[in-house]
Chains A and B, each alone.
Chain A
Protein backbone atom coordinates (compact mmCIF):
# COMPACT_ATOMS: atom_id res chain seq x y z
CA UNK A 1 0.00 0.00 0.00
CA UNK A 2 0.99 3.63 -0.45
CA UNK A 3 2.35 5.58 2.43
CA UNK A 4 0.65 8.81 3.34
CA UNK A 5 3.30 10.93 1.74
CA UNK A 6 2.17 9.42 -1.49
CA UNK A 7 -1.49 9.54 -0.53
CA UNK A 8 -1.53 13.06 0.89
CA UNK A 9 0.57 14.26 -2.04
CA UNK A 10 -1.88 14.25 -4.93
CA UNK A 11 -1.61 13.62 -8.65
CA UNK A 12 -2.49 16.17 -11.29
CA UNK A 13 -5.83 15.71 -12.99
CA UNK A 14 -7.08 17.53 -16.08
CA UNK A 15 -10.76 18.39 -16.51
CA UNK A 16 -11.64 17.18 -20.01
CA UNK A 17 -15.39 17.72 -19.95
CA UNK A 18 -17.91 19.67 -17.89
CA UNK A 19 -21.58 18.75 -18.08
CA UNK A 20 -24.25 20.97 -16.56
CA UNK A 21 -26.61 18.54 -14.84
CA UNK A 22 -28.84 20.74 -12.72
CA UNK A 23 -28.77 24.40 -11.64
CA UNK A 24 -26.27 23.51 -8.88
CA UNK A 25 -24.66 20.24 -9.96
CA UNK A 26 -22.05 19.81 -12.67
CA UNK A 27 -20.36 16.58 -13.71
CA UNK A 28 -16.64 16.74 -14.38
CA UNK A 29 -14.60 14.29 -16.40
CA UNK A 30 -11.03 13.94 -15.11
CA UNK A 31 -7.94 12.21 -16.51
CA UNK A 32 -4.20 12.51 -15.83
CA UNK A 33 -1.96 14.63 -18.06
CA UNK A 34 -1.21 11.59 -20.21
CA UNK A 35 -4.89 10.95 -20.72
CA UNK A 36 -5.31 7.98 -18.36
CA UNK A 37 -7.37 7.33 -15.24
CA UNK A 38 -5.55 8.59 -12.15
CA UNK A 39 -6.08 5.24 -10.39
CA UNK A 40 -8.41 2.26 -10.33
CA UNK A 41 -11.34 2.21 -7.94
CA UNK A 42 -14.32 0.08 -6.87
CA UNK A 43 -17.96 1.25 -6.90
CA UNK A 44 -18.68 3.45 -3.87
CA UNK A 45 -15.13 4.68 -3.34
CA UNK A 46 -14.21 8.35 -3.23
CA UNK A 47 -11.42 10.72 -4.18
CA UNK A 48 -10.04 13.93 -2.73
CA UNK A 49 -10.04 16.68 -5.31
CA UNK A 50 -8.38 19.98 -4.71
CA UNK A 51 -7.77 23.37 -6.11
CA UNK A 52 -4.48 24.54 -4.55
CA UNK A 53 -5.03 27.70 -2.57
CA UNK A 54 -8.76 27.08 -2.32
CA UNK A 55 -8.93 23.73 -0.55
CA UNK A 56 -9.51 20.04 -0.81
CA UNK A 57 -12.79 18.10 -0.65
CA UNK A 58 -14.02 14.52 -0.87
CA UNK A 59 -16.25 13.36 -3.72
CA UNK A 60 -17.73 10.05 -4.78
CA UNK A 61 -16.34 8.67 -8.00
CA UNK A 62 -19.61 8.57 -9.92
CA UNK A 63 -18.25 6.79 -12.99
CA UNK A 64 -18.10 3.02 -12.92
CA UNK A 65 -14.76 1.20 -12.67
CA UNK A 66 -15.78 -0.44 -15.94
CA UNK A 67 -15.20 2.89 -17.63
CA UNK A 68 -11.55 2.53 -18.54
CA UNK A 69 -11.04 5.94 -20.07
CA UNK A 70 -11.80 8.52 -17.40
CA UNK A 71 -13.34 9.23 -14.01
CA UNK A 72 -16.36 11.41 -13.38
CA UNK A 73 -17.48 13.45 -10.40
CA UNK A 74 -20.91 15.01 -9.93
CA UNK A 75 -20.36 18.04 -7.77
CA UNK A 76 -22.91 20.19 -6.03
CA UNK A 77 -22.04 23.84 -5.53
CA UNK A 78 -22.03 24.59 -1.81
CA UNK A 79 -18.75 26.18 -0.70
CA UNK A 80 -15.25 27.31 -1.64
CA UNK A 81 -13.90 24.30 -3.55
CA UNK A 82 -17.17 23.37 -5.19
CA UNK A 83 -17.89 26.95 -6.27
CA UNK A 84 -14.42 27.27 -7.73
CA UNK A 85 -14.84 24.00 -9.63
CA UNK A 86 -18.16 25.19 -11.02
CA UNK A 87 -16.28 28.10 -12.65
CA UNK A 88 -13.61 25.83 -14.11
CA UNK A 89 -13.32 25.27 -17.84
CA UNK A 90 -12.15 22.30 -19.87
CA UNK A 91 -8.36 22.05 -19.70
CA UNK A 92 -8.19 23.24 -16.09
CA UNK A 93 -5.87 21.18 -13.91
CA UNK A 94 -6.84 20.12 -10.39
CA UNK A 95 -5.28 17.67 -7.98
CA UNK A 96 -6.64 14.23 -7.20
CA UNK A 97 -5.80 11.55 -4.63
CA UNK A 98 -7.44 8.29 -3.69
CA UNK A 99 -9.22 5.95 -3.89
CA UNK A 100 -10.61 6.16 -0.36
CA UNK A 101 -13.09 4.12 1.60
CA UNK A 102 -14.60 0.69 1.29
CA UNK A 103 -16.64 -0.14 -1.80
CA UNK A 104 -20.06 -1.75 -2.16
CA UNK A 105 -19.71 -5.57 -2.10
CA UNK A 106 -20.64 -5.81 -5.79
CA UNK A 107 -18.75 -9.00 -6.56
CA UNK A 108 -19.72 -11.14 -3.59
CA UNK A 109 -22.78 -10.09 -1.59
CA UNK A 110 -24.58 -8.39 -4.48
CA UNK A 111 -23.83 -11.15 -7.01
CA UNK A 112 -26.98 -12.95 -8.12
CA UNK A 113 -29.24 -10.59 -6.15
CA UNK A 114 -32.21 -8.55 -7.26
CA UNK A 115 -31.05 -4.99 -6.70
CA UNK A 116 -33.08 -2.02 -5.49
CA UNK A 117 -31.32 1.36 -5.72
CA UNK A 118 -32.92 4.33 -3.98
CA UNK A 119 -31.41 7.82 -4.28
CA UNK A 120 -32.28 11.40 -3.47
CA UNK A 121 -30.64 14.48 -5.01
CA UNK A 122 -26.86 14.36 -5.38
CA UNK A 123 -27.04 10.98 -3.58
CA UNK A 124 -27.31 9.47 -7.03
CA UNK A 125 -23.59 10.22 -7.52
CA UNK A 126 -22.22 7.25 -5.54
CA UNK A 127 -25.06 5.00 -6.76
CA UNK A 128 -24.43 5.69 -10.43
CA UNK A 129 -21.09 3.91 -10.13
CA UNK A 130 -22.73 0.73 -8.77
CA UNK A 131 -25.71 0.94 -11.12
CA UNK A 132 -23.48 1.16 -14.17
CA UNK A 133 -21.28 -1.60 -12.80
CA UNK A 134 -24.32 -3.88 -12.43
CA UNK A 135 -25.56 -2.90 -15.89
CA UNK A 136 -22.14 -3.67 -17.35
CA UNK A 137 -22.11 -7.15 -15.80
CA UNK A 138 -25.85 -7.52 -16.33
CA UNK A 139 -25.92 -11.33 -16.22
CA UNK A 140 -24.37 -11.39 -12.74
CA UNK A 141 -27.38 -9.69 -11.14
CA UNK A 142 -31.13 -10.30 -11.02
CA UNK A 143 -33.67 -7.55 -11.59
CA UNK A 144 -32.65 -3.92 -11.08
CA UNK A 145 -35.05 -1.31 -9.70
CA UNK A 146 -34.02 2.31 -9.42
CA UNK A 147 -36.05 4.84 -7.45
CA UNK A 148 -34.72 8.35 -7.79
CA UNK A 149 -36.15 11.64 -6.64
CA UNK A 150 -35.22 15.31 -6.57
CA UNK A 151 -36.78 18.65 -5.76
CA UNK A 152 -37.83 19.29 -9.36
CA UNK A 153 -37.36 17.91 -12.86
CA UNK A 154 -34.44 20.27 -13.36
CA UNK A 155 -32.73 18.89 -10.26
CA UNK A 156 -32.56 15.31 -11.49
CA UNK A 157 -28.95 14.31 -11.98
CA UNK A 158 -27.86 12.27 -15.03
CA UNK A 159 -31.35 12.71 -16.50
CA UNK A 160 -30.36 11.98 -20.09
CA UNK A 161 -28.44 8.85 -19.16
CA UNK A 162 -31.33 7.63 -17.01
CA UNK A 163 -33.88 8.08 -19.79
CA UNK A 164 -31.74 7.04 -22.77
CA UNK A 165 -29.76 4.20 -21.25
CA UNK A 166 -31.04 2.91 -17.90
CA UNK A 167 -34.76 3.03 -18.68
CA UNK A 168 -34.27 1.26 -22.01
CA UNK A 169 -32.28 -1.67 -20.53
CA UNK A 170 -34.19 -4.91 -20.20
CA UNK A 171 -34.75 -5.96 -16.61
CA UNK A 172 -34.07 -2.44 -15.33
CA UNK A 173 -37.05 -0.52 -13.95
CA UNK A 174 -36.63 3.18 -13.36
CA UNK A 175 -39.03 5.05 -11.05
CA UNK A 176 -38.53 8.81 -10.98
CA UNK A 177 -40.24 11.29 -8.71
CA UNK A 178 -40.08 15.01 -7.96
CA UNK A 179 -41.14 16.77 -4.77
CA UNK A 180 -43.78 19.10 -6.27
CA UNK A 181 -45.92 19.04 -9.41
CA UNK A 182 -44.39 20.94 -12.29
CA UNK A 183 -45.36 21.84 -15.82
CA UNK A 184 -43.95 19.38 -18.34
CA UNK A 185 -43.69 16.57 -15.80
CA UNK A 186 -46.16 13.75 -16.08
CA UNK A 187 -44.24 11.37 -13.84
CA UNK A 188 -44.72 10.70 -10.15
CA UNK A 189 -44.86 13.55 -7.65
CA UNK A 190 -43.94 13.08 -3.99
CA UNK A 191 -41.08 12.39 -1.65
CA UNK A 192 -38.86 9.36 -2.15
CA UNK A 193 -39.76 7.50 1.09
CA UNK A 194 -43.49 7.70 0.27
CA UNK A 195 -42.92 6.67 -3.32
CA UNK A 196 -40.98 3.62 -2.17
CA UNK A 197 -43.92 2.67 0.05
CA UNK A 198 -46.38 3.13 -2.81
CA UNK A 199 -44.27 1.01 -5.13
CA UNK A 200 -44.06 -1.69 -2.45
CA UNK A 201 -41.07 -3.87 -3.22
CA UNK A 202 -40.81 -7.57 -2.50
CA UNK A 203 -38.27 -8.44 0.15
CA UNK A 204 -36.14 -10.68 -2.06
CA UNK A 205 -34.08 -7.62 -2.97
CA UNK A 206 -30.86 -6.08 -1.72
CA UNK A 207 -31.40 -2.35 -1.28
CA UNK A 208 -28.87 0.48 -1.54
CA UNK A 209 -29.85 3.94 -0.25
CA UNK A 210 -28.08 7.24 -0.79
CA UNK A 211 -29.25 10.76 -0.19
CA UNK A 212 -29.92 13.37 2.47
CA UNK A 213 -29.95 11.95 6.03
CA UNK A 214 -33.68 12.61 6.43
CA UNK A 215 -34.52 10.69 3.25
CA UNK A 216 -32.38 7.77 4.37
CA UNK A 217 -34.04 7.69 7.76
CA UNK A 218 -37.61 7.54 6.45
CA UNK A 219 -36.83 5.23 3.54
CA UNK A 220 -35.09 2.82 5.88
CA UNK A 221 -38.10 2.82 8.20
CA UNK A 222 -40.37 2.20 5.22
CA UNK A 223 -38.30 -0.72 3.95
CA UNK A 224 -38.19 -2.30 7.38
CA UNK A 225 -41.98 -1.94 7.65
CA UNK A 226 -42.25 -3.79 4.32
CA UNK A 227 -40.33 -6.65 5.88
CA UNK A 228 -36.79 -5.92 4.73
CA UNK A 229 -34.09 -6.90 7.19
CA UNK A 230 -31.40 -4.32 7.88
CA UNK A 231 -28.78 -6.82 6.71
CA UNK A 232 -30.29 -6.45 3.21
CA UNK A 233 -29.89 -2.69 3.11
CA UNK A 234 -26.72 -0.70 2.41
CA UNK A 235 -26.11 3.01 2.63
CA UNK A 236 -23.27 5.53 2.73
CA UNK A 237 -22.38 8.06 5.39
CA UNK A 238 -21.03 11.51 4.71
CA UNK A 239 -18.99 13.22 7.40
CA UNK A 240 -16.46 16.01 7.23
CA UNK A 241 -13.10 14.66 6.03
CA UNK A 242 -9.55 15.96 5.71
CA UNK A 243 -7.03 13.16 5.39
CA UNK A 244 -9.08 10.31 3.96
CA UNK A 245 -6.86 7.71 5.63
CA UNK A 246 -8.08 7.45 9.23
CA UNK A 247 -5.49 9.72 10.82
CA UNK A 248 -6.73 13.29 11.08
CA UNK A 249 -9.41 12.19 13.55
CA UNK A 250 -12.26 14.03 11.89
CA UNK A 251 -14.72 11.54 10.50
CA UNK A 252 -15.24 8.99 13.25
CA UNK A 253 -18.56 7.65 14.43
CA UNK A 254 -17.68 5.75 17.58
CA UNK A 255 -14.65 3.61 16.86
CA UNK A 256 -15.20 3.63 13.08
CA UNK A 257 -13.63 6.10 10.68
CA UNK A 258 -16.01 6.78 7.82
CA UNK A 259 -13.11 7.52 5.46
CA UNK A 260 -11.64 4.04 5.80
CA UNK A 261 -14.25 1.80 7.47
CA UNK A 262 -17.00 3.50 5.39
CA UNK A 263 -18.47 5.34 3.61
CA UNK A 264 -20.40 2.17 2.71
CA UNK A 265 -22.17 0.55 5.67
CA UNK A 266 -24.75 -2.19 5.98
CA UNK A 267 -27.66 -0.77 7.94
CA UNK A 268 -27.39 -3.30 10.77
CA UNK A 269 -23.75 -2.21 11.22
CA UNK A 270 -24.97 1.35 11.70
CA UNK A 271 -27.09 0.21 14.63
CA UNK A 272 -23.90 -0.82 16.39
CA UNK A 273 -22.54 2.72 16.12
CA UNK A 274 -23.46 5.55 18.45
CA UNK A 275 -26.11 7.83 17.00
CA UNK A 276 -23.77 10.59 15.89
CA UNK A 277 -23.95 10.83 12.10
Chain B
Protein backbone atom coordinates (compact mmCIF):
# COMPACT_ATOMS: atom_id res chain seq x y z
CA UNK B 1 0.00 0.00 0.00
CA UNK B 2 1.13 3.56 -0.68
CA UNK B 3 -0.05 6.87 0.70
CA UNK B 4 0.21 10.62 0.64
CA UNK B 5 -1.28 13.42 2.66
CA UNK B 6 -4.55 14.81 1.32
CA UNK B 7 -3.03 18.22 0.71
CA UNK B 8 -0.69 16.56 -1.83
CA UNK B 9 -3.56 14.98 -3.74
CA UNK B 10 -3.64 17.81 -6.27
CA UNK B 11 0.00 17.09 -7.09
CA UNK B 12 -0.94 13.45 -7.66
CA UNK B 13 -3.76 14.55 -9.96
CA UNK B 14 -1.41 16.87 -11.83
CA UNK B 15 1.08 14.06 -12.31
CA UNK B 16 -1.62 11.70 -13.63
CA UNK B 17 -2.95 14.39 -15.94
CA UNK B 18 0.46 14.78 -17.56
CA UNK B 19 0.05 11.44 -19.33
CA UNK B 20 -3.67 10.86 -19.55
CA UNK B 21 -6.95 12.67 -19.23
CA UNK B 22 -8.14 12.50 -15.64
CA UNK B 23 -11.80 12.61 -14.67
CA UNK B 24 -13.30 12.92 -11.22
CA UNK B 25 -16.59 13.89 -9.56
CA UNK B 26 -17.10 17.63 -9.13
CA UNK B 27 -20.18 19.55 -8.00
CA UNK B 28 -22.34 20.37 -11.01
CA UNK B 29 -24.35 23.56 -11.45
CA UNK B 30 -27.57 21.91 -10.22
CA UNK B 31 -25.96 20.69 -7.00
CA UNK B 32 -25.48 17.03 -7.95
CA UNK B 33 -22.04 15.59 -8.63
CA UNK B 34 -20.87 14.93 -12.18
CA UNK B 35 -17.69 13.47 -13.63
CA UNK B 36 -15.55 16.18 -15.15
CA UNK B 37 -12.09 16.46 -16.62
CA UNK B 38 -9.51 17.59 -14.08
CA UNK B 39 -7.49 20.72 -14.74
CA UNK B 40 -5.38 22.78 -12.37
CA UNK B 41 -7.66 24.10 -9.63
CA UNK B 42 -10.56 21.66 -10.15
CA UNK B 43 -12.23 21.01 -6.80
CA UNK B 44 -13.46 17.51 -6.25
CA UNK B 45 -16.98 16.87 -4.98
CA UNK B 46 -17.59 15.84 -1.40
CA UNK B 47 -20.79 14.09 -2.40
CA UNK B 48 -21.14 10.36 -1.93
CA UNK B 49 -21.76 9.66 -5.62
CA UNK B 50 -22.52 11.17 -9.00
CA UNK B 51 -26.09 11.60 -10.24
CA UNK B 52 -25.34 9.75 -13.48
CA UNK B 53 -23.25 6.63 -13.27
CA UNK B 54 -19.75 6.36 -14.75
CA UNK B 55 -20.92 3.84 -17.36
CA UNK B 56 -20.76 6.83 -19.75
CA UNK B 57 -16.98 6.41 -19.94
CA UNK B 58 -17.29 3.07 -21.71
CA UNK B 59 -20.87 3.07 -22.95
CA UNK B 60 -21.64 6.72 -23.71
CA UNK B 61 -25.18 8.02 -23.80
CA UNK B 62 -24.72 8.58 -27.53
CA UNK B 63 -21.90 7.23 -29.62
CA UNK B 64 -21.11 7.34 -33.34
CA UNK B 65 -20.88 3.89 -34.87
CA UNK B 66 -20.13 4.65 -38.53
CA UNK B 67 -21.01 6.99 -41.37
CA UNK B 68 -22.32 6.48 -44.90
CA UNK B 69 -21.87 8.40 -48.13
CA UNK B 70 -24.55 7.78 -50.69
CA UNK B 71 -24.43 8.78 -54.31
CA UNK B 72 -27.09 7.69 -56.77
CA UNK B 73 -27.57 4.00 -56.12
CA UNK B 74 -24.21 3.50 -54.45
CA UNK B 75 -23.30 3.51 -50.77
CA UNK B 76 -19.94 3.75 -49.02
CA UNK B 77 -19.43 2.82 -45.38
CA UNK B 78 -17.01 5.03 -43.46
CA UNK B 79 -15.42 3.66 -40.31
CA UNK B 80 -15.61 6.50 -37.79
CA UNK B 81 -13.88 4.69 -34.95
CA UNK B 82 -11.05 6.70 -33.46
CA UNK B 83 -8.00 5.33 -31.69
CA UNK B 84 -8.80 5.48 -27.97
CA UNK B 85 -6.59 7.57 -25.68
CA UNK B 86 -5.59 6.52 -22.18
CA UNK B 87 -7.68 8.03 -19.42
CA UNK B 88 -8.01 7.72 -15.67
CA UNK B 89 -11.18 7.97 -13.59
CA UNK B 90 -10.72 8.82 -9.93
CA UNK B 91 -13.31 8.35 -7.22
CA UNK B 92 -15.48 5.56 -8.60
CA UNK B 93 -17.47 3.88 -5.82
CA UNK B 94 -17.48 0.14 -5.09
CA UNK B 95 -21.00 -0.32 -6.51
CA UNK B 96 -20.17 1.43 -9.77
CA UNK B 97 -16.96 -0.54 -10.18
CA UNK B 98 -18.95 -3.74 -9.84
CA UNK B 99 -21.34 -2.40 -12.46
CA UNK B 100 -18.46 -2.42 -14.96
CA UNK B 101 -18.22 -6.19 -14.39
CA UNK B 102 -21.92 -6.45 -15.18
CA UNK B 103 -21.50 -4.50 -18.42
CA UNK B 104 -18.30 -6.39 -19.35
CA UNK B 105 -20.31 -9.59 -19.38
CA UNK B 106 -22.59 -8.04 -21.99
CA UNK B 107 -20.22 -6.11 -24.21
CA UNK B 108 -17.02 -8.11 -23.88
CA UNK B 109 -18.41 -11.59 -24.50
CA UNK B 110 -18.35 -12.91 -28.06
CA UNK B 111 -19.03 -11.22 -30.34
CA UNK B 112 -17.07 -8.51 -28.53
CA UNK B 113 -18.22 -4.93 -28.84
CA UNK B 114 -15.02 -3.15 -29.83
CA UNK B 115 -16.47 0.31 -29.17
CA UNK B 116 -16.85 -0.62 -25.51
CA UNK B 117 -13.80 -2.86 -25.23
CA UNK B 118 -11.25 -0.36 -26.54
CA UNK B 119 -12.43 2.26 -24.08
CA UNK B 120 -12.35 -0.28 -21.29
CA UNK B 121 -8.78 -1.22 -22.18
CA UNK B 122 -7.66 2.41 -22.19
CA UNK B 123 -9.34 3.44 -18.93
CA UNK B 124 -7.76 3.10 -15.49
CA UNK B 125 -10.21 3.09 -12.59
CA UNK B 126 -9.19 4.44 -9.20
CA UNK B 127 -11.94 3.28 -6.89
CA UNK B 128 -12.52 5.14 -3.65
CA UNK B 129 -13.96 3.61 -0.47
CA UNK B 130 -17.18 5.27 0.73
CA UNK B 131 -16.68 7.07 4.01
CA UNK B 132 -20.33 8.05 4.25
CA UNK B 133 -22.62 5.39 2.79
CA UNK B 134 -26.14 6.80 2.70
CA UNK B 135 -29.63 5.58 3.49
CA UNK B 136 -30.30 4.68 -0.15
CA UNK B 137 -27.25 2.37 -0.31
CA UNK B 138 -27.70 -1.40 -0.34
CA UNK B 139 -24.61 -2.63 -2.17
CA UNK B 140 -24.05 -5.21 0.58
CA UNK B 141 -27.25 -6.95 -0.52
CA UNK B 142 -25.33 -7.89 -3.66
CA UNK B 143 -22.13 -8.85 -1.88
CA UNK B 144 -20.38 -5.55 -2.59
CA UNK B 145 -18.31 -4.07 0.18
CA UNK B 146 -17.95 -0.27 0.10
CA UNK B 147 -14.78 -0.42 2.19
CA UNK B 148 -13.11 -2.73 -0.34
CA UNK B 149 -13.75 -1.12 -3.72
CA UNK B 150 -12.06 -2.98 -6.55
CA UNK B 151 -11.05 -1.24 -9.79
CA UNK B 152 -7.49 -1.10 -11.09
CA UNK B 153 -6.48 0.79 -7.97
CA UNK B 154 -8.34 0.89 -4.64
CA UNK B 155 -8.12 4.03 -2.52
CA UNK B 156 -9.14 5.00 1.01
CA UNK B 157 -9.12 8.44 2.49
CA UNK B 158 -9.06 9.65 6.07
CA UNK B 159 -9.26 13.23 7.31
CA UNK B 160 -5.64 13.78 6.49
CA UNK B 161 -4.33 11.04 4.22
CA UNK B 162 -5.17 8.96 1.17
CA UNK B 163 -4.04 5.35 0.64
CA UNK B 164 -3.63 3.52 -2.65
CA UNK B 165 -3.37 -0.16 -3.50
CA UNK B 166 -2.92 -1.52 -7.03
CA UNK B 167 -5.11 -4.52 -7.92
CA UNK B 168 -3.58 -5.38 -11.28
CA UNK B 169 -0.77 -4.51 -13.68
CA UNK B 170 -2.60 -1.52 -15.08
CA UNK B 171 -2.99 -0.10 -11.58
CA UNK B 172 0.59 -0.92 -10.67
CA UNK B 173 1.85 0.85 -13.80
CA UNK B 174 0.02 4.02 -12.83
CA UNK B 175 1.09 3.93 -9.18
CA UNK B 176 4.72 3.43 -10.15
CA UNK B 177 4.57 6.64 -12.18
CA UNK B 178 3.48 8.40 -9.00
CA UNK B 179 6.26 6.97 -6.85
CA UNK B 180 7.86 10.36 -6.28
CA UNK B 181 4.69 11.58 -4.57
CA UNK B 182 3.66 8.48 -2.65
CA UNK B 183 5.25 6.84 0.37
CA UNK B 184 5.13 3.12 1.12
CA UNK B 185 3.03 2.10 4.09
CA UNK B 186 1.78 -1.05 5.81
CA UNK B 187 -1.07 -2.97 4.16
CA UNK B 188 -3.27 -2.43 7.19
CA UNK B 189 -2.79 1.35 7.20
CA UNK B 190 -6.40 2.00 6.17
CA UNK B 191 -7.92 -0.49 8.60
CA UNK B 192 -9.09 2.07 11.12
CA UNK B 193 -10.98 3.84 8.33
CA UNK B 194 -12.47 0.55 7.15
CA UNK B 195 -13.85 -0.08 10.63
CA UNK B 196 -15.57 3.30 10.61
CA UNK B 197 -17.21 2.39 7.30
CA UNK B 198 -18.43 -0.91 8.71
CA UNK B 199 -19.95 0.89 11.66
CA UNK B 200 -21.99 3.14 9.35
CA UNK B 201 -23.05 0.21 7.15
CA UNK B 202 -24.44 -1.52 10.22
CA UNK B 203 -26.91 1.30 10.77
CA UNK B 204 -28.23 1.71 7.23
CA UNK B 205 -32.01 1.26 6.81
CA UNK B 206 -31.69 -1.18 3.87
CA UNK B 207 -29.10 -3.39 5.50
CA UNK B 208 -31.56 -6.27 5.96
CA UNK B 209 -32.53 -6.45 2.28
CA UNK B 210 -31.65 -9.86 0.83
CA UNK B 211 -31.66 -11.47 -2.60
CA UNK B 212 -33.53 -14.45 -1.23
CA UNK B 213 -36.24 -15.51 -3.65
CA UNK B 214 -34.44 -14.04 -6.67
CA UNK B 215 -31.79 -15.33 -9.05
CA UNK B 216 -31.64 -17.66 -12.04
CA UNK B 217 -34.40 -20.22 -12.36
CA UNK B 218 -37.01 -18.06 -10.59
CA UNK B 219 -38.88 -16.97 -13.70
CA UNK B 220 -41.79 -19.33 -13.31
CA UNK B 221 -42.22 -18.46 -9.66
CA UNK B 222 -42.06 -14.69 -10.08
CA UNK B 223 -43.32 -13.86 -13.56
CA UNK B 224 -47.04 -14.22 -12.91
CA UNK B 225 -47.10 -12.92 -9.36
CA UNK B 226 -50.02 -10.52 -8.78
CA UNK B 227 -47.80 -7.94 -7.05
CA UNK B 228 -46.47 -6.67 -10.41
CA UNK B 229 -49.78 -4.93 -11.11
CA UNK B 230 -49.76 -2.98 -7.88
CA UNK B 231 -46.04 -2.18 -7.97
CA UNK B 232 -46.18 -0.85 -11.52
CA UNK B 233 -49.48 0.94 -11.15
CA UNK B 234 -48.17 4.48 -10.93
CA UNK B 235 -44.95 4.03 -12.91
CA UNK B 236 -44.80 6.87 -15.44
CA UNK B 237 -42.58 5.00 -17.86
CA UNK B 238 -40.24 7.98 -17.80
CA UNK B 239 -37.12 5.79 -17.95
CA UNK B 240 -35.24 7.88 -15.36
CA UNK B 241 -34.36 4.74 -13.42
CA UNK B 242 -32.76 3.15 -16.46
CA UNK B 243 -30.80 6.25 -17.42
CA UNK B 244 -29.21 6.77 -14.00
CA UNK B 245 -28.58 3.05 -13.52
CA UNK B 246 -24.95 1.94 -13.84
CA UNK B 247 -25.89 -1.49 -15.18
CA UNK B 248 -28.72 -0.74 -17.62
CA UNK B 249 -27.40 -1.67 -21.03
CA UNK B 250 -30.26 -1.30 -23.52
CA UNK B 251 -29.52 0.75 -26.58
CA UNK B 252 -31.06 1.87 -29.84
CA UNK B 253 -29.33 2.30 -33.20
CA UNK B 254 -30.36 5.35 -35.22
CA UNK B 255 -29.44 7.16 -38.40
CA UNK B 256 -28.98 10.91 -38.69
CA UNK B 257 -28.90 12.74 -42.01
CA UNK B 258 -26.05 15.22 -41.72
CA UNK B 259 -26.82 16.99 -44.98
CA UNK B 260 -23.91 15.47 -46.86
CA UNK B 261 -24.12 11.94 -45.53
CA UNK B 262 -25.59 9.71 -42.88
CA UNK B 263 -24.27 9.17 -39.39
CA UNK B 264 -25.29 5.95 -37.65
CA UNK B 265 -25.10 6.18 -33.87
CA UNK B 266 -26.28 4.31 -30.85
CA UNK B 267 -27.88 5.80 -27.79
CA UNK B 268 -29.23 4.57 -24.50
CA UNK B 269 -32.76 3.28 -24.69
CA UNK B 270 -35.13 2.09 -22.01
CA UNK B 271 -37.22 -1.04 -21.58
CA UNK B 272 -39.61 1.23 -19.65
CA UNK B 273 -40.65 3.00 -22.89
CA UNK B 274 -43.86 1.95 -24.58
CA UNK B 275 -42.36 1.73 -28.09
CA UNK B 276 -39.30 -0.27 -27.04
CA UNK B 277 -40.69 -3.57 -28.30
CA UNK B 278 -43.41 -2.23 -30.63
CA UNK B 279 -43.74 -4.15 -33.89
CA UNK B 280 -45.92 -3.99 -36.96
CA UNK B 281 -48.08 -6.86 -35.72
CA UNK B 282 -48.28 -5.73 -32.10
CA UNK B 283 -46.30 -5.28 -28.93
CA UNK B 284 -45.27 -8.14 -26.69
CA UNK B 285 -45.16 -5.80 -23.69
CA UNK B 286 -48.42 -3.94 -24.06
CA UNK B 287 -48.80 -2.16 -20.74
CA UNK B 288 -46.46 -0.57 -18.22
CA UNK B 289 -46.90 -3.64 -16.03
CA UNK B 290 -45.05 -5.82 -18.54
CA UNK B 291 -42.36 -3.23 -19.10
CA UNK B 292 -41.86 -2.63 -15.39
CA UNK B 293 -41.68 -6.36 -14.77
CA UNK B 294 -39.07 -6.72 -17.52
CA UNK B 295 -36.74 -4.22 -15.86
CA UNK B 296 -36.76 -5.97 -12.52
CA UNK B 297 -36.92 -9.53 -13.80
CA UNK B 298 -33.91 -8.76 -15.97
CA UNK B 299 -31.86 -7.47 -13.07
CA UNK B 300 -32.92 -10.06 -10.54
CA UNK B 301 -33.60 -13.23 -12.56
CA UNK B 302 -32.72 -13.23 -16.27
CA UNK B 303 -29.28 -11.64 -15.96
CA UNK B 304 -28.16 -13.88 -13.06
CA UNK B 305 -29.48 -16.88 -14.97
CA UNK B 306 -27.15 -16.07 -17.86
CA UNK B 307 -24.22 -14.90 -15.72
CA UNK B 308 -23.41 -17.44 -13.04
CA UNK B 309 -25.70 -15.90 -10.46
CA UNK B 310 -24.36 -12.35 -10.69
CA UNK B 311 -27.20 -9.86 -10.18
CA UNK B 312 -27.37 -6.83 -12.44
CA UNK B 313 -28.25 -4.44 -9.66
CA UNK B 314 -25.36 -3.17 -7.56
CA UNK B 315 -27.44 -1.38 -4.93
CA UNK B 316 -26.14 2.08 -5.82
CA UNK B 317 -29.43 3.63 -4.79
CA UNK B 318 -29.70 5.99 -7.76
CA UNK B 319 -33.16 4.79 -8.74
CA UNK B 320 -34.26 5.20 -5.12
CA UNK B 321 -33.16 8.81 -5.16
CA UNK B 322 -34.42 9.76 -8.61
CA UNK B 323 -37.73 8.05 -9.36
CA UNK B 324 -40.44 10.73 -9.46
CA UNK B 325 -43.00 8.39 -7.89
CA UNK B 326 -40.59 6.81 -5.40
CA UNK B 327 -40.82 3.34 -6.88
CA UNK B 328 -37.61 1.35 -6.99
CA UNK B 329 -35.90 -1.99 -6.96
CA UNK B 330 -35.58 -2.10 -3.16
CA UNK B 331 -39.38 -1.85 -2.87
CA UNK B 332 -39.81 -4.56 -5.47
CA UNK B 333 -37.42 -6.83 -3.61
CA UNK B 334 -39.11 -6.24 -0.28
CA UNK B 335 -42.53 -6.94 -1.72
CA UNK B 336 -41.67 -9.99 -3.81
CA UNK B 337 -38.68 -11.49 -2.03
CA UNK B 338 -38.56 -14.52 0.18
CA UNK B 339 -41.07 -17.26 -0.41
CA UNK B 340 -43.63 -17.22 -3.20
CA UNK B 341 -47.02 -16.06 -1.98
CA UNK B 342 -49.54 -18.84 -1.66
- A residues touching B (Cβ–Cβ < 8 Å)? 1-12, 52-56, 78-79, 89, 91-95, 212-213, 238-240, 242-243, 245, 247-250, 252-255, 273-274, 276-277
Contact = CB atoms under 8 A, between A and B. Distances in A.
19 contacts: A1-B110, A3-B111, A3-B117, A5-B81, A8-B65, A12-B76, A12-B77, A56-B255, A78-B280, A79-B280, A92-B73, A95-B68, A95-B75, A213-B282, A242-B251, A248-B269, A249-B251, A249-B269, A276-B284
Interface stretch (B9-17, B141-149, B166-174, B297-305): B297-305
A4 B112 contact: yes
Contacts of B306: 255
Interface string B260-288: 00101010010100001111111011000
A7 B66 CA distance: 12
A255 B250 contact: no
Nearest to B253: A242
Contacts of B161: none
Interface in B232-260: 249-253, 255, 257
A239 B279 contact: yes
A5 B73 contact: no
For chain A, what secondary structure do more than half of its interface residues adopt (helix, strand, loop), or is it mixed? loop
* Interface bin, chain B: 35 or more
B114 A3 contact: yes
**Which of A1, A89, A239, A255 lies at the interface centre, i.e. has the most chain B CB atoms within 10 A of its CB?**
A255
A40 to B, nearest CB: 16
Contacts of A8: 65-66, 113, 253
A78 B277 CA distance: 16
B114 A4 contact: yes
B114 A252 contact: no
* Top-3 shortest CB links A-B: A249-B250, A52-B68, A5-B114
A78 B279 CA distance: 10
A255 B75 CA distance: 37
A94 B70 CA distance: 10
Contacts of A95: 68, 75, 77
Nearest to A261: B306
Nearest to A273: B219
Contacts of A252: 294, 298, 302
Contact of B302 (A3, A5, A212, A255): A255
Contacts of B79: 9
A45 B202 CA distance: 53
Contacts of A92: 73
B290 interface: yes
A183 B244 CA distance: 61
Interface string B112-136: 1111010000000000000000000
B57 interface: no
A91 B74 CA distance: 8
A56 B107 CA distance: 21
Contacts of A79: 280
